[in-house]
Amino acid sequence: MQSPLSVNEKMFLAQFQVISQIGKTNEGVIVGRCADYVLKDIPGVTNVFIHAEVEDRKKRAIEKYGEDPAKIDDIIATYDKARQNYYNYHTCQKWEITGTTTCRSTAAISQKRIGRTYR
């Protein structure tokens, strides 16, 4: 008998369990994967939304990842839509920054420093 869950749903449930276990130890940094939703009922959790300005994202995608400058707007829009859809589907909530989330821009601080700050 085939499972009623898709591979994507099974993967999400496995990630949910791992993120929950990490959250209960109070030691860990989790990037994405709906972690704010998974950890919402655990006291003392800090949610940090790390973002970059669109022009910075374009520059990084072209210079670091070799993306085609002529297609970069569509590429970024596609990734953003996929992130939004993933979050909305798995949490049944709208992907948005809430008042309980700290926001940090990579324009003001490097990615490495952000990682060290919230480790």
Rounded Cα distance, 76 and 17, in Å: 30
CA torsion 71-97-90-45 (nearest 10°) is 130
Q: What is the pLDDT along the chain (119 residues), one digit of tens a residue?
A: 677 899 989 999 999 999 999 998 878 888 888 998 999 998 888 888 888 889 999 999 999 999 999 999 999 999 999 999 999 999 998 877 665 567 777 776 666 776 676 66
2 to 6, 7, 9, 13: CA distances (angstroms): 10, 11, 14, 17
Residues 54 and 76: beta-carbon distance below 8 Å:
yes
